[in-house]
Amino acid sequence: MRLSRVIETSAAVAATRSRLAKVDELARTLREAAGVTDREDDRASEDLPPGDRERLVRITADYLAGTLPQRTVGVGYRGLRDLPAPAEEPDLKVLEVDELLTRMAGLAGPGSAAARSAAVAALFGRATADEQRWLVGLITGELRQGASDGVLLPAVARAADVPETLVRRAVMLAGFTGPVAAAALLHGEEALAEIRLEVGRPLRPMLAGSEPDVPAALTHRRDPGTPVAVDTKVDGIRLQVHLDRAAEVPARLFTRSLDEITDRLPEVVDAILGLPADTAVLDGEVIALDPDGRPHPFQVTSARTASSADPGTLAQRTPVTTFLFDVLHLDGRDLVDEPAHVRWSVLDELAPHLVVPRVVTSAEDEATAFFEQVLAAGHEGVVVKDPDAPYAAGRRGAGWVKVKPRRTADLVVVGVEWGSGRRSGKLSNIHLAARRPGTDELVMVGKTFKGMTDALLEWQTERFLALETHRDGYVVHVRPEQVVEIAYDAVQTSRRYPGGIALRFARVLRYRDDKGPDEADTLDDLR
């Protein structure tokens, strides 16, 4: 199968709003990868050996999801800045691209930088302009038209003619869609049913819904008198821990995105190896705390988990503290389908000193008081949890509901970027600026394309084209007249923006026509 076929499918999925059309398009391409096709240009792929056929289905599913199977190939934006002239006709095959990227990822040692640059030139020199753009997005993790679980998993089920519930459970336990798609399309229901939780292989983390306050979170209870657990929500790095004392690496640590960072957190490994268990899968967070037990800014924790340089020295300089809030497996017993209160009881016996602070209560005032106590201690908020809920990996629902205070700022739009995929032809990603105190200068503090409805995109495209001053590539610079109310989770230091700060998880709430730029918030307000 040609790479151009995958890109064609991605473009078709991005261009339609119909969920059924998206599922049909994805299922058709997955069947082609599995060798079930009427397309003349793909008939040669039907003669692939079984191992290559399985790889093709797996990689095609990953590519359609916008996922790089290698996770990283050692190339960032800088290495993709100066690409060779694109090819005129599509020639690259999916398996061939995967092999080239795997080789690229394996380059290390003296001369690897030059070898990697040569590999980039060789791959991109054979790619068309559309393929180059798509590959850049895939490698950098910015492929916005990657199909979500909401359409890809039903597409796998339809392509393989198997129940969607089986596909979802298998993906939950396997972590990634690619291997599940290969099992479903090539081996059917029986192969899906055989997929189990494996210690050492990360599964998808359970996700939380969101409410603005504790009373709203409590409305998700089955009845008003039902107790809930209220967990402290620390602003750290989500961590899934796998313990297997018989393995070559007895303790392995995976992030929320299922990337392994075991070598970066030796103090966490030591804490896990100290537990009285032979095998375990645990869910939690790690966070850097100051000597008084208050959390450092998120960036301090993030820097620890992002760096593998001298992990022992880093651990001594800025150690992280481990908090656990769930257990999914213990000494041969899978717990994902057990009620949460059973899992918590097991965790309390296994690691009472590592369990995140929580209260179990049916009283709204007690839950709210705990929330206020958590905020006063410097933490992010709470997660309200149903004691009877199973571990719904990879899904958001009423089982977990997070509550954290919403911070807002009134900022000025100084530029907008043209969108891609469904947003092609629309001005989408807005550049946000705050006032420098005591001056009329506006200083950029971030960007966002989140929180925008289709109607808002239409409005802001018309609005900002009317304010346009000039263009720089895909960026439309505008007169600084429009104020927008932005919600954000935190403010962090930044070397990217001249004000030295940036907004974390910024999203649009509304445009403020009742305010002028002179009423926008200042850098000091944000600090």
* Residues taking part in catalysis: 233
Q: How many helices (H) and strands (E) does the chain have?
A: 18, 19
Q: Give dist(CA 463, CA 24) in Å, integer.
A: 36
- Sorted by sequence, the CB contacts under 8 Å of residue 419 that are 6+ apart come out as 425, 426, 427, 428, 429, 449, 457
Beta carbons of 151 and 22 less than 8 angstroms apart: yes
Q: DSSP of 288-355, one letter per residue?
A: EB-TTSPBPPHHHHHHHHH--SSHHHHHHHS-EEEEEEEEEEETTEE-TTS-HHHHHHHHHHH-TTTB
Amino acid letter, 407: R
Residue 462, judged by CB atoms within 10 A of its CB (0-12, 13-18, 19+), counts as exposed
Q: Give dist(CA 306, CA 290) in Å, integer.
A: 19
CA distances from 4 to 41, 75, 474 (A): 11, 22, 24
437 DSSP 8-state letter? T
φ and ψ of 471, to 5 deg:
-125, 150
3-state secondary structure of 478: strand
Q: Give dist(CA 45, CA 54) in Å, integer.
A: 12
Amino acid letter, 33: A
CA torsion 164-166-170-171 (nearest 10°) is: 10
Token pair 């190939």: residue: 73
End-to-end CA gap in the chain: 52
Q: Which of 355, 518, 354 is nearest to 433 (CA)?
A: 518
